Amino acid sequence: MTAIIFPGQGSQYLNMSMDFNENFDVARKVFQEIEDSTKINIRKIIIENPLGSLNQTNFTQISIFSASLAIYKTLLSEFGLEVLKPNFFLGHSLGEYSALVAGNSINLGDASKLIKKRGELMHLSVKPNISGMAAIIGKNADFIDDVIKKNNLKVVIANDNSPMQIVISGLIEDIINSEKVFSKNGVKRYVKLNVSAAFHSNLMNDAQRELIKEIDKINFKKSNFPIISNYNSTINLNSDSIIYALKNQMANRVRWTDSIRKLEETDTIKIIEIGPGKVLSGLITRITKKFDIKSIDKIEDLKKL
């Protein structure tokens, strides 16, 4: 059995997936459809990065989504489902939307509009330089939760990426003050992240409420492919369950470690990461050694299939 996974914010880089855009008509059509739906010149952002826009949340998310789907749709066209043989789809945060499109739960145009709105809401959710995030290396979520609780820290776990990498969110002041506490409790590496706000925390509640209004406008289809949702790390095939998890994703923890553990409970032996970078492949190897993992990021990676 095979799971196909899609990356989230942070995996972007200049010219990502442009080799697919240059060599495959299906990839160009994906970019064109998304650009028509969003009225954003995504390929210009990816190639030229005007005013650093590729690293601005309101453009980053739609760019990564476009790059990922351009590659996925090319694989589908070149190899077909009979070669890819997907049994599950999942993605990290933003990547969950790519997974829903790949699994035929949402069409490409609707998802594009949703992600454009999501990026804008997250970008504008909190005034700049008020909130942020930090990565804690070398400790698992239970340890971090325990330190937060015992010391009454005003931060929360945003991403449980692996047993060795946890990301926390909160106000900048609380992120700074928490570093001393974690250091006293044996944390060796505490890295403040260059992000515009405290994603996947209660500081996203207002943005999440606005996004829910947009999700309610979308027609979700019944899919034959189960999705493992970030919010509750459960295998969802029912549309109502998928929508419920998606509505709660933005302001709550990304349970990536639990999602991969859930995949371990199935007969899955192969994972294909599709999209820019190999971040998720690296995280998964820190969670488990069970899977044969392949990353498809550039045209030369196609030979891996």
Which ranges in the chain belong to alpha helices (H)? 18-23, 25-38, 42-48, 57-79, 81-84, 95-102, 108-124, 141-150, 172-184, 205-215, 239-247, 256-264, 279-287
| Active-site residue identified among 63, 200, 229, 233 | 200
Local structure of 157: helix, strand or coil: strand
User: Would you give the distance in Å from CA 57 to the centre of its chain?
Assistant: 12
Residues 279, 11: contact at Cβ < 8 Å? yes
200 is catalytic: yes
> What is the C-alpha to C-alpha distance for residues 213 and 42, in angstroms, rounded to an integer?
25
Sheet holding 227-228, edge to edge: 235-236, 227-228, 86-91, 2-6, 270-274, 292-296
Identify the active-site residue in 37, 93, 125, 169.
93
User: What are the φ and ψ backbone dihedral angles of 202, each rounded to 5 degrees?
Assistant: -65, -10
210 Cβ contact list (under 8 Å, min separation 6):
117, 121
Catalogue the active-site residues. 93, 200
